[in-house]
Amino acid sequence: MSDLDFEAVVVTYNSAGDIRPCLSSLQNACSRVVVIDNASRDDTVNIVNQEFPKVEIIPAERNLGYGEALNLGIGRTASPFVVAANADTIFPAGSLQALERFLKAHPKVGVLGSQELFPDGSWQRSYGAIPGLYEAAQTLLGVTSLIYLADRISWRYLSPRGAKRVGYVDGAVMMIRRAAFDAIGGFDHKFHFYCEDADFCLRLAHAGWEVVSMPSVSVIHARGGSSTKAEGYSDRLLRSLASAQRQLIKKHNPGWHLPLHRQLCILHARKMSLIYRLLRVLRLAPYEPRASMPALAFERWGHIWAELSD
């Protein structure tokens, strides 16, 4: 492997509690690491400067959002492959090299994701379908939950686990082919936070690149390092997520998709709220994966979707 086969870009925002293990794991694997700090108010910048002198850190004067920060960071790199990472990720030895080998062997793949795990080693959702009518209908009917359950079981009990094409890979861990990145002009910075990964992958697919998830390669992801960890599933956060999904649908689909998608999301929120209420009445503990929205947030989620205009 040449010295510049792949580099890494990490985006931080109040990440003092996460950045040390992330950078330690990346420094052992990458030729170079660039950190873009989105105007953190904690000690993130000081920690990087003092403890990781080989890491280049670029403090932004404002919160650029994830996509724009990645564009800035990738612009400072020169390798054919770039790892885009959240600050709350840890890369086990050999994981990035495995992703790189796959990209070198499959030149049509524009971006590659891994299997994300919680710090205790349990399975975590690492990819998804592009938000839209088809995805919303699958979610409402429970198909999405069944797909993830099958993946969870397959990951735990079956081997080997082959790579597969997906709608998008989670933005927390992406190995991006520079040629693909340049071909579509990088991330759309209009997506400030949420859906920038889905938009990026959808545009890659439209340009003829493949979007692939590789569950045989595992990466630790604490999840929610700069969003839900800071404020929980607040109305502001939920509204940002819903607005980003609608922004994505409006950008890539006919206008009539918007009101129908909203109704499907409202129905799903009401369905989940009803299910959890019944479980509470029956005094049964609901199964609630840590990567999913907490039960009490579903009712607010439905109200937020109902408030959004077309």
CA atoms in the 13 A half-sphere facing the CB of 50:
6
For position 78, what pLDDT does the model report?
Answer: 93
Q: What is the residue-wise DSSP string for the chain?
A: --TTSEEEEEEESS-TTTHHHHHHHHHTT-S-EEEEE---SSSHHHHHHHH-TTSEEEE-SS---HHHHHHHHHTT--SSEEEEEETTEE--TTHHHHHHHHHHH-TTEEEEEEEEE-TTS-B---EEPPSSHHHHHHHHHTHHHHHHHHHHHHHHH-S----EE-SEE-TTEEEEEHHHHHHHTS--TT--SSSHHHHHHHHHHHTT-EEEEEEEEEEEE---TTTHHHH-S-HHHHHHHHHHHHHHHHHHS-TTHHHHHHHHHHHHHHHHHHHHHHHHHTT-PPP--TTSPPHHHHHHHHHHHHH---
CA distances from 300 to 100, 231, 251, 275 (A): 42, 15, 26, 15
Written as one letter, the residue type at 85 is A
Quickly state the pLDDT bin for 230 (edges 50, 70, 90): very low
Higher pLDDT, residue 231 or 246: 246
Quickly state the pLDDT bin for 225 (edges 50, 70, 90): low
Radius of gyration of the chain (CA): 19
pLDDT > 90 fraction of the chain, expressed in percent and rounded:
74
Rounded CA-CA distance 256/263 in Å is: 12
Query: Residue 197's CB: how many other CB atoms inside 10 A?
Result: 25
Contact 57, 73 (CB under 8 A): no
For position 310, what pLDDT does the model report?
Answer: 61
Question: Does residue 11 carry a pLDDT above 90?
Answer: yes
Residue 292 phi/psi, 5-degree rounding, is -100, 165
pLDDT > 70 fraction of the chain, expressed in percent and rounded:
90
Question: Does residue 20 carry a pLDDT above 80?
Answer: yes
Quickly state the pLDDT bin for 227 (edges 50, 70, 90): low
Mutual orientation of helices 143-157 and 133-141 as an angle, nearest 10°? 80
What pLDDT digit, counting tens, does each position of 124-152 carry? Answer: 999 999 999 999 999 999 999 999 999 99
Q: Which long-range contacts (CB under 8 A, 24 or more apart) does 254-257 make?
A: 255/310, 257/132, 257/133
Higher pLDDT, residue 271 or 206: 206
Mutual orientation of helices 66-74 and 196-206 as an angle, nearest 10°? 60
Question: Does residue 204 carry a pLDDT above 70?
Answer: yes
What pLDDT digit, counting tens, does each position of 262-303 carry? Answer: 999 999 999 988 887 787 777 665 554 454 565 567 778 888
Query: What integer is the mean pLDDT of 82-92?
Result: 97
For position 193, what pLDDT does the model report?
Answer: 84
Question: What's the whole-number average pLDDT of the chain?
Answer: 90
Q: Please tell me the pTM assigned to this model.
A: 0.91
What pLDDT digit, counting tens, does each position of 178-187 carry? Answer: 999 999 999 9
Cα 273 from chain centre: 25
Q: Which of 12, 182, 156 is nearest to 81 (CA)?
A: 182
Which domains, and CATH codes, for the chain? 6-227 (3.90.550.10), 231-307 (no CATH)
